[in-house]
Structure 1
Amino acid sequence: MSRILRTEPNPVMSKAVEYHGFIFTQGVVARDLSLDVTAQTKDIFEQIDALLETHGTDNTRILQAQIWLKDIADRDAFNTLWTAWVPEGQAPARACVQAVLADPRMLVEVMLITTK
């Protein structure tokens, strides 16, 4: 049976789950929810970089991204940072939608599937 590696699991979720070289992240949100969408997005990318590094991979190996924005009008601001963060020619399959998030101060949430 293949081993499943769970990163920082709690009763509700894990920060990431690794199985057969695939890494599935939690929905990552900013640590400081008082920030604007640009600063929240930068913080999310920093957290994702660290999480992927823990699993021996990086943002060149993203297969799929799910992005939730509190306000779809923030999509251009998000995409400016996204295109600077994702290496050229390495864009994953992706969905980006407007959503009601768990805390009204959350402006963006990102969930990834990557591989090693």
Structure 2
Amino acid sequence: MSRIIRTEPNPVMSKAVEYHGFVFTQGVVARNLDADFKTQTADVLAQLDALLEQHGTDNTRILQAQIWLKNMADRDALNEQWTAWLPKDGAPARACVEAVLADPRMLVEIMLITTK
């Protein structure tokens, strides 16, 4: 049986769960919620880089992304940073929706499924 690895679990969630060569991340939000959209997005992508690296993978192995925006008007700004962050021809399957997030200062939240 394959082992399940949970990264920094708490009673509610883990930062990531690795199973059978797949890595599932939590929904990652910016550490500084008072920052603007561009800064929050850059921070989220940097956190995802670190989390994927911790599990021996990177953004070239992303299978699916789920993205929540506080305001869909930020989608173009997101896509600018997103496409710069992704490897050429490496875009995953993706959903991007407008949502009410857990804290009104959260502007973007991203969750990934990747493989090793």
In structure 2, distance between residues paired with 1:100 and 1:76: 19
In structure 1, distance between residues paired with 2:114 and 2:4: 15
Match of 2:60, SS? coil
Q: Where does 1:9-20 land on structure 2 (aligned, <5 Å)?
A: 9-20=9-20
Q: Where does 1:1-116 land on structure 2 (aligned, <5 Å)?
A: 1-116=1-116
Q: Cα deviation per residue 1:27-65 (whole Å; 9 max; x = unaligned)?
A: 000000001110000000110000000000000000000
Report the residue type matching 1:31 in the other structure.
R
Report the residue type matching 1:106 in the other structure.
M
Structure 1: 5+ residue runs without aligned partners? none
In structure 2, distance between residues paired with 1:44 and 1:12: 20
In structure 2, distance between residues paired with 1:75 and 1:29: 16
In structure 2, distance between residues paired with 1:42 and 1:30: 8
4+ runs deviating over 2 angstroms:
none
TM-score, normalised by the number of residues in structure 2 = 0.99
Aligned length: 116
In structure 2, distance between residues paired with 1:30 and 1:61: 22
In structure 2, distance between residues paired with 1:15 and 1:78: 22
In structure 2, distance between residues paired with 1:45 and 1:104: 20
Match of 1:114, SS? strand
In structure 2, distance between residues paired with 1:69 and 1:108: 5
Calculate percent identity across the aligned residue pairs: 78
